[in-house]
Structure 1
Amino acid sequence: MTSQREFDLVLYGATGFAGKLTAEYLAKAAGPARIALAGRSADKVRAVRDALGESAASWTIIEADAGVPATLAAMAERTQVVVTTVGPYTRYGLPLVAACVEAGTDYADLTGETPFIRDSVDQFHKQAADTGVRIVHSCGFDSVPSDLTVYALYDKVRADGTGDLTDTDLVLRTFAGGVSGGTVASMMEFFRTAAGDPDIRREMLDPYTLSTDRAAEPDLGHQSDTPWIRGVQIAPELAGVWTGAFAMAAPNSRIVRRSNALLDWAYGRTFRYAEHMSTGSSVLAPVVAAVDTAVNAAALGLGMKYLNKVPSALLERIVPKPGTGPSEQTRENGHYRIETYTTTSTGARYRAVIAQQGDPGYKATAVLLGESGLALALDRDRLSDLRGVLTPAAAMGDALLTRLPAAGVTLETTRLD
């Protein structure tokens, strides 16, 4: 890859709901970076650019269509980094990954679709590694908070010399936000893919399905994606709190475990990881946690087995349409706070906190994706030496530990005892 490319970063999918928000963020945060916006319709992309204000007035418009691979190749050849919000990625993602690998262009996306990531690894990891390309999946709320809090814990524990990470648990303490049609479309695509293929269903139940070497992973027993436990079983600081299943635990946890494998199991060979959602400490909290866990388990199991039997026309009538999303008020008033706890092999305990104001899946995600793209484009000296199909932490953990706090993201790591 060469810095002589025409652009530092191309945002592909700029006319979609998440794409517009990411473009708005880049217009505020990219500074002198050379940015272009891309999509199927130049007129629609131009309308998005024209609404961004003076800072984006000179940005170039590129026509590119996932159904026309030559346009993806031409786009990738012009830039150091492609950031894409075009999903469902299972349907539209692999041709762009292929174009970026062939062009020697780094890539970042928002996917939470584990089967797509598995296909990306199988088809392109070796070629990307050989050609020096970073393909970085899951750079939004799925799965930067998960991946980066664990990486921050590892970084702190390594600096303190207190051993390896062992039992590590993410807890979503607070959350407020909405859902877009694009997110629902991605979820439906994931379930349809799994429902039509029993091999994919088996892979999705494997906690190490994204590992670099499945045979090298330790046998640590069952690691549930839908736990229902008291907070005190995670950490004394959560006494009185109940936790249930976190809907995105399955894709997030597989990204975190892939990070450990990509980093040569630097977190530790007995690193166990789970994600939870707090339901509070009221009298009803354990009931809410139990119901939440049951609903998540049922949705995951039934969706992966039977969704392809539901008529598409019926689903289209009841789910949000692609391109739609939460209102501006919902996006502004949204927020999240995540606390990730770990105990090391020497018995030391730590907590990492990440928090943002703004709807997690949209306003907050635009910051996470925008900063990930800028890190890949502008922070070349702070990126890892790894190449291939990577995770946010494995590709740019150190850069994001610096960038995100500067972008207004709360990110703190504390030793507890």
Structure 2
Amino acid sequence: MERDLDITVFGATGFVGRLIAAELLAQAPQGTTIALAGRDRDRLRDLAGGLGRPEVPLLVADAFDPASLSEMARRSRVVVSVVGPYTKYGMATAGACAQHGTHYVDLNGEVLFARDMIDAYDQAARASGASLVTACGFDSVPSDLGVLLAADACAAAGGGELLGTTMHLRSFSGGMSGGTIDALRTQIDASRHGVRTPGRSSSDPYALSPDRDAEPEPRGRRNSFVWLESSADTREFAAPFFMARYNEQVVRRSNALLGWRYGRGFRYREMHDTGRGLPGLAKGVGIAAALPAFVASLATPGLRHVADRVLPSPGEGPSERSRERGHFTMEVHADTTSGRRVVATVADQRDPGYQGTAVMIGEAALALAHDEGLATGVTTPAVALGQPYAQRLRARGFTLDAKVH
């Protein structure tokens, strides 16, 4: 099929879309055609001019207009979808890409959307040769690649397979946009009021598995949740990590899609380290109390109305000054079948949810546009892009390494 566009950013005029468009236009190799897509041509034209690239192709497309989505997918090698919440606006875009053999990446952190996307389009994408790669930002690239690096380093050193594995968020600074909060609202509503079946449950740790009955833990098990503990890995207090549930489900899907390459005895969880002594304990208690309260404020109708008045609205996000202070460091600590220990580190000195995420999804799109994909179907960053993707991120200043002890 003749395609005149290498990468199309769908939702380019949104807060995160603008950052991704700027990233791709600045970093794409010469000769790579980047297009901007959205509902409003005037806003697209203003964006292109504001980025100093008035000549870039513009596509008018709407998440509820199948003809426009089909045209966008037909013309593009890769579609970067940042039109969210994905539960509301994402399915038709993914379906158009699966139909036309167009690679697709998104920033989805909504487990029920991901499950529906797998069920609806995995087979079609495999048949058409499309890679539909979900969770290509801070959700869930650092977790997914960190475990892949740990498993591969362990295997290369003769250390066997991974057993109990924990990702520690060691340091973090970053903001939250109105779009992220709106996605959380939508996910809460979908979990409360959506269709519930044994294969469609946001609380199942293997909710995204390609074969739930082949997983090592039985149906009915719920996600583990860290409240507050003292970690033996880092000797610090640890609190819940707000992105743990979805990241854990993505990592477990990667293990299954890779033929349980990490190990049949692989168990995975995530936590947020808060430090040692009384300051670490106090911070841990604060996070452990704040996260459930925040979710409850969005899940309770009366409280949601109050929260909506103070939280950022869709299209709003942290200031440039706030983003400039962003950074993150994650460590994956794993026991192995040989008795050795492996520690993988993923870190970056950019705001994880914005500049860092723009680099992560941008490099994923560029990899797919240049035929570096490793798998088709509805897949994950580790499975679809793997070690070559890790190398791309290293070249952009990320730290990604693993050591076996």
Shift in Å at residue 95 of structure 1?
Answer: 0.6
Read off the aligned partner of 1:370 and give its amino acid letter. G
Aligned position for 1:362: 354
CA deviation vs aligned residue, 1:205-249 (integer Å, no higher than 9, x gap): 1100100000000028775133422122xx2xx12x111100000
Aligned position for 1:224: 224
Q: Is the 8 A contact 2:204 2:223 kept in 1?
A: no
Pick from 188, 194, 197: which aligns with 2:194? 197
Note the 1:25-104 alignment, pairs <5 A: 25-32=23-30, 33-53=32-52, 56-104=53-101
Q: In 1, Cα distance between the equivalents of 2:63 and 2:111?
A: 20
Pick from 333, 337, 340: which aligns with 1:341? 333
Shift in Å at residue 298 of structure 1?
Answer: 5.6
Distance 1:325 1:273, change over 3 A: same
Identity of aligned residues (%): 41
Shift in Å at residue 375 of structure 1?
Answer: 1.0
Q: In 2, Cα distance between the equivalents of 1:134 and 1:73?
A: 16
Q: In 2, Cα distance between the equivalents of 1:250 and 1:199?
A: 18
Q: Is the 8 A contact 1:9 1:373 kept in 2?
A: yes
Read off the aligned partner of 1:97 and give its amino acid letter. A
Q: Is the 8 A contact 1:336 1:357 kept in 2?
A: yes
Q: In 1, Cα distance between the equivalents of 2:353 and 2:111?
A: 17
Q: Are residues 1:244 and 2:239 paired?
A: yes
Shift in Å at residue 125 of structure 1?
Answer: 1.0
CA deviation vs aligned residue, 1:72-125 (integer Å, no higher than 9, x gap): 110010011000111000000001011111111010000101110011011111
Residue aligned with 1:66, SS: coil
Residue aligned with 1:175, SS: strand
Pick from 166, 179, 182: which aligns with 2:179? 182
Q: Is the 8 A contact 2:297 2:304 kept in 1?
A: no
Pick from 382, 385, 388: which aligns with 1:399? 388
Q: In 2, Cα distance between the equivalents of 1:399 and 1:100?
A: 23
Shift in Å at residue 132 of structure 1?
Answer: 1.5
Give structure 1 regions of 4+ aligned residues with deviation exceeding 6 angstroms.
none
Q: In 2, Cα distance between the equivalents of 1:374 and 1:7?
A: 12
Q: In 2, Cα distance between the equivalents of 1:17 and 1:248?
A: 20
Shift in Å at residue 46 of structure 1?
Answer: 1.5
Read off the aligned partner of 2:323 and give its amino acid letter. R
Q: In 2, Cα distance between the equivalents of 1:244 and 1:312?
A: 24
Read off the aligned partner of 1:373 and give its amino acid letter. A
Q: State the TM-score, normalized to the length of structure 1.
A: 0.91
Aligned position for 2:21: 23
Q: State the TM-score, normalized to the length of structure 2.
A: 0.94
Shift in Å at residue 398 of structure 1?
Answer: 2.1
Note the 1:163-312 alignment, pairs <5 A: 163-197=160-194, 199=196, 203-219=201-217, 224-232=224-232, 235=233, 238-239=234-235, 241-297=236-292, 302=296, 306-307=299-300, 309-310=301-302
Q: In 2, Cα distance between the equivalents of 1:228 and 1:127?
A: 43
Shift in Å at residue 351 of structure 1?
Answer: 1.0
Shift in Å at residue 405 of structure 1?
Answer: 0.4
Read off the aligned partner of 1:349 and give its amino acid letter. R
Shift in Å at residue 399 of structure 1?
Answer: 2.2
Read off the aligned partner of 2:5 and give its amino acid letter. F
Aligned position for 1:412: 401
Q: In 2, Cα distance between the equivalents of 1:29 and 1:189?
A: 33
Q: Is the 8 A contact 2:174 2:326 kept in 1?
A: yes
Q: In 1, Cα distance between the equivalents of 2:222 and 2:203?
A: 11
Q: In 1, Cα distance between the equivalents of 2:400 and 2:111?
A: 26
Residue aligned with 2:196, SS: helix
CA RMSD of aligned residues (A): 2.0
Shift in Å at residue 43 of structure 1?
Answer: 1.3
Q: In 2, Cα distance between the equivalents of 1:66 and 1:401?
A: 31
Q: In 1, Cα distance between the equivalents of 2:181 and 2:237?
A: 28
Q: In 2, Cα distance between the equivalents of 1:49 and 1:158?
A: 47
Structure 1 gaps of 5+ residues are none
Shift in Å at residue 331 of structure 1?
Answer: 0.9
CA deviation vs aligned residue, 1:47-77 (integer Å, no higher than 9, x gap): 1111223xx4432111111121111110010
Q: In 2, Cα distance between the equivalents of 1:191 and 1:297?
A: 13
